[in-house]
Amino acid sequence: MSTIDIYVPRDSGALSLGAEEVAQAISAEAKKRNVDIRVIRNGSRGMYWLEPLVEVATAGGRVGYGPVTVKDVPQLFDAHFHTGGKHALSHGVVEEIPFLKSQQRLTFQRVGVIDPVSVQEYVANGGYQGLRAALAMKQADVVQAVLDSGLRGRGGAAFPTGIKWKTVLDQNTPQKYITCNADEGDSGTFADRMLMEGDPLSLIEGMTIAGLAVGATQGYIYLRCEYPHANQVLKEAIAAAYQARYLGADVMGSGRRFDLEVRLGAGAYICGEETSMLESLEGKRGEVRVRPPLPAIKGLFGQPTIVNNVITFASVPCILAKGAAFYRDYGVGKSRGTLPFQLAGNVKHGGLVERAFGLTLKELLYDYGGGSATGRPIRTVQVGGPLGAFIPASQFEVVAGYEELSAIGALLGHGGIVAFDDTVDMAKMARYAMEFCAIESCGKCTPCRIGSVRGVEVIDRIMAGVDTEHNLKLLEDLCETMLQGSLCGLGGMTPFPVTSALKHFSEDFRGRGARH
Amino acid sequence: MQTLAPTQRETVLRVVAAHRTRPGALIEILHGLQAELGFIPPAAVPVLAQELNLSRAEVHGVVSFYHYFRHSAPGQQTLRVCQAESCQAMGADGLTEHVKKTLGIGFHETTPDGKFSLEPVYCLGNCACSPAVMRNEDVFGRVTPERFNELLAQWKRGE
């Protein structure tokens, strides 16, 4: 009998639930039983309620078992799971699981499927076709393809990627840089991490295409230090790409150079803001820069620089391989292509859903998410991280697109959706938003640095029931000042969660405490 | 100011030498130092400034800007409990209280036996498995107070 391939994720979410121990137990048990297997460490499929999800390659497809614990392993062998045998933990063929089957995975097409650091598997699964296509095109045509695809920055700001690239292409300087913002600090978002741990070569390919397209020879991935597993996988993948000559002095035999390295952040949320990230890459305090000049004109070390998010870069190979029209045909309105939505917080089936824009929050939360984890009603969701608005259940019919969310005073951001059940105290959440801003403010703008501290104090008084109406008015004034008087999104957007909580859940702020 | 022990000085110079030609090297150097020493000794600041042709204020400014860099030696193991929204939605507040009570320390503190340091962290990217805890570089998901107790027992045994 030939060797059986068994997949156990090395994704840190799966590892956080014991995947490493499960992988070791499977290897040990197979040895004991004299079963010829090969354990492959893949990324996660993004169905975290099933992690650790062990997959077995069979003639009929990959059969999944999960969530697997170490003590399940002997029983799984008893049930002949290694030939796809039936077991209580079996979910049948993984790609037939409705959560996954109904998705449209373009950017995440290989995540969870392949060994993330194998160039060979990457290429066998459609990898490097985008770069191959780009190498046969003129630089301006590559940029045009990205523009035509309608791709917008997936980090949250949703700026058209092609315009940014064109600006850098148009700069006539010898040194330009490609930088990837992998400082995924928004709570409820993990798409970047999953991609870097599950298919890092797609990010590397996307950055390489960007480098060739605009004439940059050096790329940096600015990775948050809270992601040590992603760091490890990225480093292995970059080394493998150099080895196979997809990076370095002679990319794919084209005679053109592109070098790439990972730089670690150091636990500052603000460094996810692009100018702060550039300061940090230069080895300085991550203080926000005044724009203009835009980074595309004067960025890293004063040179023209592309700053894009992980998912933005990782979406580019597909666009080049299959054409701008292919990508653009997904989506609604001005939100083109697909977005990896992330379901997090109090949700039964947390995980990653890559779909064309056009789904409503309700579909995401209930059809995919299965409602709350606690079984209580979902009262609100926060979309787009700690600077995103709280959206009440009465607005869950909204389409999760950039303009659609913006129209109700919310934002899509990086596509993270954090669900809260009806036990949530919205005054406490508003207080946390201010507290977080106070902790993470870079200190440059007074409304952010001091306003956030004052915000915590005012909300404390509201929560204690002290002079409520006056303090609510004060809080609204303060939010207005922060909104208008901050250079970047931290101070400028912290008011969003606060004012949305006030607007939709005013009952949580009024009539509190002993004194009135 | 305390002076740098000779072995520490040697480490500082070695780490600087390994990175000094890289553009924007300071943060990489600080990472390298913290990986070896566990923290950035305040007495390393003037040495770094001298070596990199920066002012002490510039180096201190960078060290103190970033939450990750420590000014004092950590415990043998560092525990980080996620405080961000997704984990809050799944009981991080209660877990945090439990962890503090169990260890008998607050955030930014180390147990008297020097075994554990406790730090807050704002998102580990494990939001579909909240609440999350990190021990050194390992992440743990769906950490209830009960699961924390089991994990802590393992960590105390050195597993």
Please state the rounded mean pLDDT for residues B102-130: 97
- Pairing, β A390-392 against β A378-383: antiparallel
- pLDDT surpasses 60 at A469: yes
Chain B residues whose C-beta is within 8 A of a chain A C-beta are 23-28, 30-31, 58, 61-62, 65-69, 84-90, 121-130, 132, 134, 137-142
Contacts of B125 in chain A (CB under 8 A): 12-13, 184, 189-190, 192-193, 226-227
Cα-trace Rg, chain A: 24
> pLDDT > 70: what percent of chain B?
99
pLDDT at A516: 42
Q: Report the chain A residue with the minimal C-alpha distance to residue B140.
A: A16
A vs B, Cβ pairs < 8 A, gives 159
What integer best gives the mean pLDDT of chain A? 97
pLDDT at B2: 73
**What HEC string does A401-424 produce?**
CHHHHHHCCCCCCCCEEEEEECCC
A234-263 per-position pLDDT tens digit: 999 999 999 999 999 999 999 999 999 999
Please check whether residue A339 touches B, CB under 8 A.
no
Please state the rounded mean pLDDT for residues A323-331: 97
Q: Which amino acid is at A208?
A: T
Angular region, A34: left φ>0, alpha ψ -120 to 50, beta rest? left
- Chain A interface disruption, residue of B22, B27, B51, B134, most A CBs within 10 A: B27
> pLDDT > 90: what percent of chain A?
98
Q: A187–B123: do the CB atoms touch at under 8 Å?
A: yes
* Cα Dmax for chain A: 78
Task: Name the packing angle between helices A228-243 and A191-198 (round to 10°).
Answer: 40
pLDDT at A1: 62
- Residue A437, helix vs strand vs coil: helix
B38-68 per-position pLDDT tens digit: 999 999 999 999 999 999 999 999 999 999 9
- Asked if A200 contacts A233 with a C-beta cutoff of 8 angstroms, the reply is yes
- Pairing, β A416-421 against β A338-345: parallel
Q: A266–B67: do the CB atoms touch at under 8 Å?
A: yes
Please state the rounded mean pLDDT for residues A147-157: 96
Q: Which amino acid is at A74?
A: P
Measured distance CA(A122)–CA(B73) in Å, rounded: 43
pLDDT at A2: 87
- Asked if A10 contacts A233 with a C-beta cutoff of 8 angstroms, the reply is yes
> What tokens does A42 get?
């893949």
Q: B125–A184: do the CB atoms touch at under 8 Å?
A: yes
Measured distance CA(A359)–CA(A398) in Å, rounded: 8
pLDDT at A513: 76
Measured distance CA(A370)–CA(A348) in Å, rounded: 5
- Asked if A12 contacts B135 with a C-beta cutoff of 8 angstroms, the reply is no
- Asked if A343 contacts A365 with a C-beta cutoff of 8 angstroms, the reply is yes
Contacts of A17 in chain B (CB under 8 A): 129, 141-142
Q: A282–B124: do the CB atoms touch at under 8 Å?
A: no
Q: Cα dihedral sign for A469, A471, A477, A479?
A: negative
Measured distance CA(A185)–CA(A156) in Å, rounded: 12
- pLDDT surpasses 60 at A514: no
- Chain A interface disruption, residue of B126, B135, B138, most A CBs within 10 A: B126
Q: Is A78 exposed, middle or buried (0-12, 13-18, 19+ CB in 10 A)?
A: exposed
Provide the pLDDT confidence category of residue A511 given band limits of 50, 70 and 90. Answer: confident
CA distance B139 to chain A (A): 5
Please check whether residue A264 touches B, CB under 8 A.
yes
Contacts of B159 in chain A (CB under 8 A): none
A356-395 per-position pLDDT tens digit: 999 999 999 999 999 999 999 999 999 999 999 999 999 9
Angular region, A322: left φ>0, alpha ψ -120 to 50, beta rest? alpha
Strand order across the beta sheet in which A90-93 lies: A37-40, A4-7, A54-58, A61-65, A90-93
Which residue is associated with the tokens 């949320």? A269
Please check whether residue A279 touches B, CB under 8 A.
no
> What tokens does A77 get?
């062998």
Measured distance CA(A100)–CA(A50) in Å, rounded: 12
Q: B90–A226: do the CB atoms touch at under 8 Å?
A: no
Count of Cβ atoms closer than 10 Å to residue A168 Cβ: 27
Please state the rounded mean pLDDT for residues A175-196: 97
Measured distance CA(A155)–CA(A191) in Å, rounded: 10
pLDDT at B1: 62
Q: Report the chain B residue with the minimal C-alpha distance to residue A47.
A: B128
Provide the pLDDT confidence category of residue B159 given band limits of 50, 70 and 90. Answer: confident
Q: A386–B66: do the CB atoms touch at under 8 Å?
A: no
> What tokens does A442 get?
């870079």
CB-nearest partner of A13 from B66, B69, B126: B126
Please state the rounded mean pLDDT for residues A269-284: 97
Q: A268–B65: do the CB atoms touch at under 8 Å?
A: yes
Q: A187–B140: do the CB atoms touch at under 8 Å?
A: no
- Asked if A318 contacts A292 with a C-beta cutoff of 8 angstroms, the reply is no
CB-nearest partner of A344 from B68, B127, B134: B127
Q: Report the chain B residue with the minimal C-alpha distance to residue A424.
A: B89
What integer best gives the mean pLDDT of chain B? 96
Q: B139–A266: do the CB atoms touch at under 8 Å?
A: no
Q: B128–A285: do the CB atoms touch at under 8 Å?
A: no
Q: B67–A268: do the CB atoms touch at under 8 Å?
A: yes
Please state the rounded mean pLDDT for residues A162-188: 97
Please check whether residue A231 touches B, CB under 8 A.
no
B143 bridge partner residues: none
Q: A344–B27: do the CB atoms touch at under 8 Å?
A: no
- Asked if A407 contacts A332 with a C-beta cutoff of 8 angstroms, the reply is no
> What tokens does A355 get?
């779909």
Indicate the helix (H) or strand (E) that contains B151: helix B145-156
Please check whether residue A344 touches B, CB under 8 A.
yes
DSSP A33-102: HT--EEEE-----SBGGG-S-EEEEETTEEEEE-S--GGGHHHHHHTTGGGT---TTEEEEGGGSHHHHT
pLDDT at A515: 45
Q: DSSP letter at A439?
A: H
Q: B126–A188: do the CB atoms touch at under 8 Å?
A: no
A48: nearest Cα among A256, A188, A202, A212: A188
**CA distances (Å), origin A333, targets A160, A403, A404:** 14, 8, 9
Measured distance CA(A354)–CA(A102) in Å, rounded: 9
Provide the pLDDT confidence category of residue A326 given band limits of 50, 70 and 90. Answer: very high
pLDDT at B158: 82
Measured between alpha carbons, how far apart are the two ends of chain A, in Å? 78
